[in-house]
Amino acid sequence: MQQKAPANIGITGFLVFITGLILLACEPEQEKFTFDPSASLRFSSDSVKFDTVFTSIGSITKRLKVYNDSRNAVNISSIILQSGNLSPFDIVVNGVNASKHENIRLLGKDSLLVLVEVLIDPEDEDLPFLVTDQIEFLTNGNNQNVPLVAYGQDAVFLNGEVLACNTTWTANRPYVIYNSVLVDSLCKLTIEPGARIYSHNASFIFVQGSLEAAGTAESPILFSNDRFEENFINAPGQWGGIIMLEGSKDHVIDHARIRNAQVGIYLGTPDDDANPDLVVSNSIIENIGGGEALPTGDFQVLPGFGLIAFNSDLYAYNVLINNCEIQTIGNYAGGNYRYEHCTLANFSFQFFRQSPSVLFADNLILDDNSLLQFPLNVSLLNSIVWGSLSDELTISITNEATAQIDIRDNLIRTLEFRDALGDVNLINADPFFADPRLYDYQLDDGSPAIDRGSDIGIPTDLTGTPRDADPDLGAYEKIK
């Protein structure tokens, strides 16, 4: 006897049953879970590495992408920091910051973003120290690890401070400046060879007294920004700069590297004598520009000057200044300036620049349109003035009777002063720098600057290389 289907199943139940079958049949493959152990994860990087991180200061956020290459979804049973809550690292998954995350669904052919940060406790160590951990991913029985690596660096932190008189900064630990510092009047800041000074955004070193930063060829002093990530290694405008205020004097900067500031050095020290208020030697100033107008008080100074001076007294030798938004050198409102064996080069790799690389002026127009004018005495010898513009030198004189300009034995790119300076200078001859894009301004083979200088008593170049009897122009002596 044939058995009949129950009559009371009802039309509603039948429709529910059929709908369920349809939904199962239509579920996208990428949403169906697979528990196959071969369905492992893939990562955007085999490790997450941080550049040197100052202790007590958090790092930038690094990104780790987690990929599911399977066509089906997987369940990540857990994402765990191996050191748990004791880890210096933080991980954020789906907006949640925790040392352990469980049951994370990752669709087929999809990815997951894990954010990683690190905050390192001080260790009272002079040298950088290694900090590690790892993220463990458990999926379908697979245990996969991504190492986390950072170097911690203890530092001396300064925040908006007036420095104690006769302070000395050593090479033991770096100095990190927030909200600027001030060397007070009648006080001196001494910086020893190998010292590293890192300043935060818009933080300046103001000097009302005197600064003596004397490095060596083997242990130069570094002034730079406090961000070490790749995007900030050669980024202008990341901190303020060094500001020599009126009344300050007896400044020495030797074997220093000043990088990535709004202004390299500002010198505003008018006085009644011609003795140098600043001697800068064997030093490099580069990647200058960006940010707001400088807080100098009497008038507005735009960022972008490698070395800017107002009615001051300055001596510079064996100095390279390059990649400045406005000028490598701007000397305004008169003063006494002597430049020997300097390389002043501006190629506008990172800026749209209209100003010449070097400007000497006996005048300055103030914000109220009034004119300042003082005697100008300039000596430029054995140097290179070059860049991407057809005129890289400007001389602005309003009173020729009080101006003394001695420009000879240089290589200069100029149209305006081609005839006036051509007899005693090498005009518009490409110096053949080795590789300016890589900050290499040494002279390449065949440079017309080789052996074109006169012996003015500076026996070594910026790197300490001895000069021969026929010295090369600029800050570098070509090794023959």
Q: Do the beta carbons of residue 200 and residue 228 sit within 8 Å?
A: no
Looking at residue 261, what DSSP letter applies?
A: B
Q: Give residue 473's Cα distance to chain centre.
A: 28
Could you tell me which of 403, 411, 307, 399 has the C-alpha nearest to residue 359?
Answer: 307
Q: Residue 21 phi/psi, 5° resolution? A: -60, -40
Q: Is the dihedral of CA 113, 119, 125, 126 positive or negative?
A: positive
Cβ neighbors of 112 (< 8 A, separation 6 or more) are: 65, 66, 68, 76, 93, 94, 104, 106
CA 384 to CA 431: how far, in whole Å? 8
Residue 190: helix, strand or coil by DSSP? Answer: strand
Token pair listed for 186: 């009648």
Give Cβ neighbours of residue 66 (< 8 Å, ≥ 6 apart): 41, 42, 43, 44, 76, 106, 111, 112, 113, 114, 137
Interacting residues of 435 by C-beta distance below 8 A, sequence separation 6+: none
- List Cβ neighbours of 310 (8 Å cut-off, separation of 6 or more): 267, 268, 270, 332, 333, 335, 364
Q: What is the pLDDT of residue 2?
A: 45
* DSSP notation for 86-150: G-SEEEEETTEE-SEEEEEEE-TT-EEEEEEEE-------SS-EEEEEEEEEEETTEEEEEEEEE
* DSSP at 470: S
Query: What b/e readout covers 131-161, taking b as 16+ CB neighbours within 10 angstroms?
Result: bebbbebbbbeeebebebebbbbbbebbeee
Longest CA–CA span in the chain (Å) reads 132
Q: Give the pair of three-digit tokens for residue 360.
A: 């000497």
Which residue carries 């008080």 as its tokens? Answer: 297
Could you give the dihedral angle defined by the CA atoms of residues 334, 402, 344 and 442, in that order, rounded to the nearest 10 degrees?
-130
What angle (nearest 5°) sits at the alpha carbon of residue 142, between those of residues 141 and 146?
145
The DSSP string of 420-436 is HHTTTSEES----EEEG
Give pLDDT, residue 300.
Answer: 66
Structure tokens at 34: 């697979």
Distance of CA 178 to the CA centre of its chain: 16
Q: Which of 348, 357, 301 is nearest to 323 (CA)?
A: 348
Q: Global pTM?
A: 0.87
pLDDT digit string (tens) for 418-458? 999 999 999 999 999 999 999 999 999 999 999 999 999 99
Q: What is the pLDDT of residue 297?
A: 59
Tokens of 220: 């130069």
Quick one: which of 445, 319, 327 has its CA closest to 384? 319
What parts of the chain have a pLDDT lower than 70?
Answer: 1-27, 295-300
Please tell me what DSSP assigns to residue 294. Answer: B
Dist. CA 40–CA 74, nearest whole Å: 9
